[in-house]
Structure 1
Amino acid sequence: MANNKAQHRIAQQSGFTLVEIAIVLVIIGLILGALAVGKDVQRNAEYQKVGNKFIYEWKRSYDGYYQRAGVVLGDSQVAPTNMVDGEKVTIGGQPAATANLNGAVAGVPASYANSGGRICNGQGFAANSVGTGDPAVSVQNLRTLMQQIGNRMPPGRGEGKEDRYVYTDSNGNPAEIQVCFQWNPAGLVHGAGNAMVIRGLTPDLARFLDQLVDGKPDAMEGRFRQQNIAANTTATNNQAGVQWGANNTYNQANPGAATATGVGQRLDEDQVVLVTAIWVMDQ
């Protein structure tokens, strides 16, 4: 009887078996894995929301302006140039809408002056904020142009700030996107023609949007590219397989270079480096 009581006490004092410990460790691993996957899913959902509810909506607004006005954003309706901000360009020193009536000068981009102004809402962002040659902000206002034609804009950050959107970067810090439009002359690495300019993208978000637009996240190929005002020469021409010129910790000054140069933020709590993208429009 005494032996049975002793055995009972020993059984009560025994710890977890190896099988039980293994099961607990597996459960903990599954929980941690689910948290990691959940974070990636949440970030991708945020990126998808940025693309669908803001960037693509501004593409629709731009196309809607063209359908309503019959010209691209900010162009002259009486003498269109097919250039964003074309209302303000000049030819032969005179406004394009009233000058060159005898056709003495060819109405091609090379003949126009004061072209390429960046149409933003209000201040926009300053000329040369990316590099020398970055265009100046137009006197025309993006929000005013859209309202004058009765065109719908995405809600953005709210009334009066429809051109902006706030999201969370991969380190949990808020970042702001701003949308403008401009005409790019031929011979630039980031593409010629009328384009949407998107400032404030993390490299991850830029690659995600590039994948949505082009099907391939390449910084120097397709209709969605990293802003680069360099001339399209044999040294910097369109070439497949060029990475976006930054990642979450390093900023690459020359997107065509093989490796990143210049150190960005390194710590998990720091703001992720931001880049600017150019999306060439259909009209």
Structure 2
Amino acid sequence: MNSSHFRRSPQTTRHGGFTLVELSVVLVIIGIILAAVTIGRDVQRGAANQRLATEFVQGWALAYDTYFNGTGQVPGDPAADPTGLVNGALDTPLCGLALRGAMQAAGITLPNGRAEGSEDLAVYLDAAGNPRQLQVCLTARQWSEPAATPGSYLVRNRNVMELIGLTPALASMLDNQFDGRIDARFGRLREDAHAASVAAASQPWSAAQPGTDEAQAPLMTGYLRLSR
């Protein structure tokens, strides 16, 4: 039989590398994976911050109330000549060992913090995944409240929980948790610089500027007004 009767099927010669279609598919898959990882990380961080608000911040507010209900006075206030202010005066924070010692001497169970002996400290992650430290102190500060005339404000001395080391994301989350809106000037949670302001205008948290990289943003201090 003549060999010319046999003909080879045409074959496509393939060279090394990927086609544009294949590269596009790979890039789409990578994008989906990265998006899923980012969403998962944000969900996990949001849940961790929620636990921080509930178990740590609210835990310390509960410890403060328990102290008052058990002793009839606020922490650090002299029993012989009570003022109703933490440490008996304005702007004298009760922090660290002194805070933990006062609470434990009254038999108060402290919230779980960073570790045993560091119950006033908590570690959390910022938006970039960097570890940050939040510290709780108790203090008395000046605090603005509505006056008799609508739209005007006056300043009174109030006991607050000082939250040192807030990132913009954590400050916003806590503000929304305690006040139902994000506003550094009004509500139960305020930024330190606005706590005694008598201005009628709302204010954003100072470091929470649009487009700012949270890893580069300065940490802030907030005051959470206590019940007494």
Q: TM-score, normalised to structure 2's length?
A: 0.79
Q: Is the CA contact 1:190–1:228 (under 8 Å) kept in the aligned structure 2?
A: no
Q: Structure 1 counterpart of 2:201, which letter? A: Q
| CA–CA distance in structure 2, aligned partners of residues 51 and 186 of structure 1 | 22
Q: Structure 2 counterpart of 1:244, which letter? A: W
Q: Structure 2 counterpart of 1:143, which letter? A: R
1:151 deviation in Å? 0.2
| CA–CA distance in structure 2, aligned partners of residues 144 and 186 of structure 1 | 27
2:157 corresponds to 1:155: no
1:117 deviation in Å? 1.6
Residue in structure 2 matched with residue 222 of structure 1 by the alignment: 187
Counting only pairs closer than 5 Å after superposition, residues 109-258 of structure 1 correspond to structure 2 as 114-122=89-97, 141-187=98-144, 192-228=157-193, 232-233=197-198, 237-240=199-202, 242-247=203-208
Q: Is the CA contact 1:224–1:278 (under 8 Å) kept in the aligned structure 2?
A: yes
Secondary structure of 1:193's counterpart equals: strand
Q: Is the CA contact 2:121–2:134 (under 8 Å) kept in the aligned structure 1?
A: yes
Residue in structure 2 matched with residue 33 of structure 1 by the alignment: 35
Residue in structure 2 matched with residue 51 of structure 1 by the alignment: 53
Shift in CA distance, 165/77, structure 1 to aligned 2, threshold 3 Å: same
Residue 273 of structure 1: which of 214, 218, 223 is its match?
A: 218
| CA–CA distance in structure 2, aligned partners of residues 230 and 60 of structure 1 | 22
Please provide the CA RMSD for this pair.
Answer: 3.2
Shift in CA distance, 22/225, structure 1 to aligned 2, threshold 3 Å: same
Q: Structure 2 counterpart of 1:41, which letter? A: V
Q: Structure 2 counterpart of 1:280, which letter? A: R
2:9 corresponds to 1:6: yes
Shift in CA distance, 65/238, structure 1 to aligned 2, threshold 3 Å: farther
Q: Is the CA contact 1:168–1:174 (under 8 Å) kept in the aligned structure 2?
A: yes
Q: Structure 1 counterpart of 2:206, which letter? A: G
Q: Structure 1 counterpart of 2:94, which letter? A: I
Q: Structure 2 counterpart of 1:239, which letter? A: A
Shift in CA distance, 279/212, structure 1 to aligned 2, threshold 3 Å: same
Residue 75 of structure 2: which of 70, 73, 95 is its match?
A: 73
Q: Is the CA contact 1:157–1:165 (under 8 Å) kept in the aligned structure 2?
A: yes
Q: Is the CA contact 2:185–2:197 (under 8 Å) kept in the aligned structure 1?
A: no
Show CA shifts across 1:233-281 (max 9, x none).
4xxx1423x110113799xxxxxxxxxxxxx9x6x8x554200000001
1:187 deviation in Å? 4.9
Show CA shifts across 1:44-68 (max 9, x none).
1232122122111111111111121
Q: Is the CA contact 1:71–1:82 (under 8 Å) kept in the aligned structure 2?
A: yes
Shift in CA distance, 180/273, structure 1 to aligned 2, threshold 3 Å: same
Shift in CA distance, 271/49, structure 1 to aligned 2, threshold 3 Å: farther
1:80 deviation in Å? 3.5
1:42 deviation in Å? 2.4
Shift in CA distance, 196/31, structure 1 to aligned 2, threshold 3 Å: same
| CA–CA distance in structure 1, aligned partners of residues 26 and 6 of structure 2 | 35
Q: Structure 2 counterpart of 1:206, which letter? A: A
Q: Structure 1 counterpart of 2:116, which letter? A: E
Q: Structure 2 counterpart of 1:6, which letter? A: S
| CA–CA distance in structure 1, aligned partners of residues 134 and 109 of structure 2 | 19
Secondary structure of 2:137's counterpart equals: strand
Which protein has the bigger helix share?
2
Show CA shifts across 1:165-188 (max 9, x none).
122222232221110011123559
Residue in structure 2 matched with residue 101 of structure 1 by the alignment: none
Secondary structure of 1:278's counterpart equals: strand
